[in-house]
Structures are given as structure tokens and as C-alpha cells.
Amino acid sequence: MRQRDGMKKTIRPRTKPSDIRRQELMDAAAGLFIEQGVEATTIDAITARAEVAKGTFYHYFSTKNGILEALRAAFSQGFLDRVGAAVDTVPAGDHAARLRQWLVAGVTIYMAEYELHDVVFHQHGRRMQYRTEKNAIVGQLAGLLAAGARDGAWNARNPEFVAVVVYQGFHGAVDDAIERGLQDPAPIAAALFDLFSLMLRT
């Protein structure tokens, strides 16, 4: 490998560093995946857009799915790095400010890059799927939250927004419990109720 790099430098003086070339292939793939979907994108189209020979693709990736996996890992690591950097602009002892930084950076990055997010995490265009079903359940929760707010039982100025957070928190907590192999719903429901009761305190 070292030998080959040395030869390349002699023969093609304008050869780019390996990591830049890899990134250019990934950028080309990301653009094409967003524009026309993963299915419709060929390796030929990726190398054409990146302006490299087809063999160069196979130097870095073995399949189209391989470059998709690399994009997924890069999205996740980039999110972590940037959110972590935003948190670290605030002193370690100012915990509330650090949580705020996490949320501001996280929301900003996700909203700015959701097209790439959807391509790498939802290959089958899941974003708009099952919206009716989800909205029905969030609507049920929002009605419950609005009724309590009207009676002064708790504080929920925007019941629709709170319902989204409660619904997703519920969904994620159960997903996590299933992944951990937990069997008893009672402690999970109790922990959720405690958290959401605090969130709704007047």
C-alpha cells in the first residue's frame, strides 16, 4: 500500500490525499441518494459525480451498501462531535446551560440535515409513513393533556407539542425495555408517569 501510494505520487502528481478522495465519493453518493434515492443510484453515477474512475470506488468501498454504511457512521459521529463541541463551550458546572446547548445544537443539526438522515436511517422513506396512525394516538394524548390544562391540573401551554414528547418518550422507553429483555410493564409505566408528572407540574 505504501509502495503503491509512492508510485501514484510519482506518476500522478495531482493525486488527492486518500481521506479527501474518500470524502468526495461520500459527498457525491449523499447528493445522489438524496436527489434520486438509494435504489436508483448506481456506482457509475457516484464515480461520475465524484470525477474518479470506477476502480477508485472499490479502493474505498466494496458495495453501494458499504458507502451507505459509511455515510451512516459519519452522520452519527458528526452529530456526536458537533453536539459535544457545543456542550463544551459552556463551563462543566453549568449543567442547565449544557443541556440547552445539547438541545439547540441537536435540533439545529437534525433540522438542517434531515434529508441525509432519512436516506441513511430510513432507506424506505419511512418519514411520512404511518402518519395517520401516529397522529391519532398523539391526538388522543393531546386531548387528555388539554383537558388537564383547562382544569388547572397541570401546566401544558402547548398540549400538541407536549403530546408529541410524551408519545415519543413512551415509545422509546418501551423499545429500550424490549431491547433489554425486560418483561414487566409496570415499573416502566411508573417511571414514565413520574417523569411526565414532573414535566407537567404547575
Question: Footprint of a second copy on residues 158-197 (CB under 8 A)?
Answer: 158, 161-162, 164-179, 183, 185-186, 188-189, 191-193, 195-197
Asked whether the beta carbons of 41 and 48 are under 8 A apart, the reply is no
Site string for a second copy, 68-97 (x = CB under 8 A): ----xx-xx--xx--xx--x----xx-xx-
Q: Show Cβ contacts of residue 42 under 8 Å, excluding neighbours closer than 6 positions.
A: 64
Q: Does 31 bind a second copy (CB under 8 A)?
A: no
CA atoms of 99 and 93, how far apart (whole Å): 11
Nearer to a second copy, 12 or 131 (CB): 131
Exposure letters 164-187 (e unless 16+ CB within 10 A, then b): bebbeebeeeeeebeeeeeeeeee
Looking at 50, 114, 125, 142, which residue binds a second copy (CB under 8 A)? 114
- Least CB distance to a second copy at residue 19 (A): 21
Q: 27 vs 115, which CB is nearer to a second copy? A: 115
Does 45 engage in binding with a second copy (CB under 8 A)?
no
Nearest distance, CB of residue 151 and a second copy, angstroms: 6
The nearest distance, CB 49 to a second copy, in angstroms, is 26
Please give the Cα distance from 29 to 64 (Å, whole number): 9
CA 182 to CA 50: how far, in whole Å?
47
Termini Cα distance of the chain: 65
**All cell numbers assigned to 170:** 413512551
Q: How far is the CB of 181 from a second copy (least distance, A)?
A: 11
Binding span for a second copy by CB under 8 A among 3-11, 29-37, 49-57, 110-118: 110-118
Size of residue set near a second copy by CB under 8 A: 82
User: CA-to-CA distance for 165 and 172, rounded, in angstroms?
Assistant: 10
List the grid coordinates of 196.
411526565
Nearer to a second copy, 34 or 192 (CB): 192
- Shortest CB 45 distance to a second copy, Å: 24
